[in-house]
Amino acid sequence: MTLNLVIIFTAVSLFVFSILMFFYWIGVRSRQQIKERLDKYTEIERKLFDEVPDIVRSEDLSKIPFLNVILKRFSLSQSLKLVIEQAGMEMEVGRLLLMMLVFGMLGFIITIKFDNILFMIISILFTGYVPLAVVLNKRRKRRKLFEQQFPDALDMLRNSVRAGFGLVKGIKLVADESPDPVSIEFRKTFEEINLGISMREALLNFSGRIDSLDLKLFITALLIQRESGGNLNEILFKIGSTIRERFKLIGQIRVFTAQGRLSGLILGLLPVIFGLLVSTFNPDYIAPLFTEPSGRKILFIAFLMQITGFIVIRRILKIKLI
């Protein structure tokens, strides 16, 4: 009975995936044909097309029309779209979901021989989460790079204000002279202001695109200064100094917690290394863990305990600076 359900689920999943990929190919081909027709226009029109501001982007969540309509009905799709934008990736939400579906099917195919429904479900969830984990990791790295570049951007903005430029001109200077991703985010803010969005709304959108405490501090101080007045040059200087001091404190914390992080890594890798050594020198000794049902259950429980230990150690060593 279980084997029949597995076969039916696999067949239905492959059928649904084939249909989605067919419509996806039709959508891509249609867009490619439209682009080829547009490319036949004059060079001037192509330049105008290339000069579309960064904030003017398609709101489509998928290139498959009917999937795009379905995704727009769910608020989770907008959250995934924001995560993808924060990661700086050119990807539709529909493509990410299709990749998660494919990876989930791979996890299902890998565990189909174990004949354990619970293990299959966990494997599907784990492998299906891999594409989203890659996006989240890229978002984390991009945010970290932004925070490293942000103090220099504030110094550039402060120097432009001291030289007599306005705040908007200073934002444009940072967008032109700074490396990515700082230049991209400041350029989006400048373009929003140029398109008629108020300064307050443009700054709040800036804060929403980058989940950074340093940026929120900068936006809050800037909005208060615009409402109540004050020396903008001094405010920017103090914010830049505060951010650099935070970096120093974070570096000291990483030094103090290095021993705990190393201990967690060693404790996590020790069972894996020990198992590889035993399987190399005496394969028959460790074989029951993979061939017997009780052995697979023990491996599954050990895996869950290892993950739990990693999470607990990470939570203990993670210190948030507010």
Note whether 272 and 191 are same-domain residues.
no
3-state secondary structure string across 161-175 = HHCCCCHHHHHHHHH
Q: Which of 88, 104, 128 is the last residue of a domain?
A: 128
Task: Compute the Cα dihedral for 75, 80, 84, 86 and give only its sign.
Answer: positive
Is residue 222 situated within a structural domain?
Answer: yes
Domain range spanning residue 82? 2-128
What lies within 8 Å, CB to CB, of 296 at 6+ separation is 114, 116, 119, 289, 290
Is residue 275 situated within a structural domain?
Answer: yes
Structure tokens at 123: 């494997």
Note whether 228 and 270 are same-domain residues.
no
Note whether 209 and 110 are same-domain residues.
no
Is residue 134 situated within a structural domain?
Answer: no
Question: What confidence tens digit (pLDDT) does each residue in 103-161 have?
Answer: 888 888 877 776 667 777 888 888 889 999 999 999 999 998 998 889 889 889 988 88
Q: What kind and span of H or E run contains 90?
A: none
Structure tokens at 101: 């579906």
Is residue 45 situated within a structural domain?
Answer: yes
What's the mean pLDDT in 284-295? 82
What lies within 8 Å, CB to CB, of 196 at 6+ separation is none
Here the contacts of 175-184 (C-beta below 8 Å, separation 24 or greater) are 178/149, 178/152, 178/153, 179/149, 180/88, 181/88, 181/142, 181/145, 181/146, 181/149, 182/146, 182/149, 182/150, 182/153, 184/54, 184/88
65 pLDDT above the threshold of 90: no
What pLDDT does 105 receive? 83
Is residue 135 situated within a structural domain?
Answer: no
Nearest to 13 by CA among 123, 114, 119, 105: 105
What's the mean pLDDT in 18-37? 62
Task: Compute the Cα dihedral for 73, 103, 90, 83 and give only its sign.
Answer: positive
pLDDT band at 53 (very low <50, low <70, confident <90, very high): low
pTM of the model: 0.70
Which CATH number covers residue 209?
A: 1.20.81.30
Q: Which of 102, 128, 154 is the last residue of a domain?
A: 128
Note whether 149 and 249 are same-domain residues.
yes
Q: What kind and span of H or E run contains 42?
A: none
Q: What Rg value do the Cα atoms of the chain yield, rounded?
A: 26
Note whether 144 and 111 are same-domain residues.
no
Residue in the structure block whose two tokens are 């039916």: 8
Note whether 123 and 31 are same-domain residues.
yes
Note whether 180 and 107 are same-domain residues.
no
Q: Helix count (H) and strand count (E) of the chain?
A: 16, 0
User: What does pLDDT average to over the chain?
Assistant: 79
Is residue 248 situated within a structural domain?
Answer: yes
pLDDT band at 210 (very low <50, low <70, confident <90, very high): confident
218 pLDDT above the threshold of 80: yes
CA of 82: how far to CAs of 61, 170, 223, 306, in Å? 11, 27, 24, 32
User: 7-16, 139-148, 179-188, 293-302: lowest mean pLDDT where?
Assistant: 7-16
End-to-end CA distance of the chain: 55
Q: Which of 227, 255, 283 is the last residue of a domain?
A: 255
Q: Where are the alpha helices (DSSP H) in 129-257?
A: 130-162, 167-177, 182-194, 199-209, 213-228, 232-256
Is residue 133 situated within a structural domain?
Answer: no
Better-predicted residue by pLDDT, 118 or 47: 118
Question: What confidence tens digit (pLDDT) does each residue in 147-166 have?
Answer: 888 988 988 998 888 888 88
CA 108 to CA 127: how far, in whole Å? 9
Note whether 249 and 270 are same-domain residues.
no
Total structural domains within the chain: 3
Amino acid at site 272:
V
What pLDDT does 283 receive? 82
CA 295 to CA 287: how far, in whole Å? 9
What pLDDT does 317 receive? 75
Question: What confidence tens digit (pLDDT) does each residue in 244-276 have?
Answer: 888 888 888 888 888 877 887 887 788 888 888
pLDDT band at 50 (very low <50, low <70, confident <90, very high): very low
Note whether 240 and 261 are same-domain residues.
no
What pLDDT does 33 receive? 61
CA 250 to CA 322: how far, in whole Å? 12
Note whether 170 and 105 are same-domain residues.
no
Note whether 194 and 144 are same-domain residues.
yes
- Decide: 116 and 292 in contact? Cβ < 8 Å: no
Note whether 85 and 157 are same-domain residues.
no
Is residue 214 situated within a structural domain?
Answer: yes
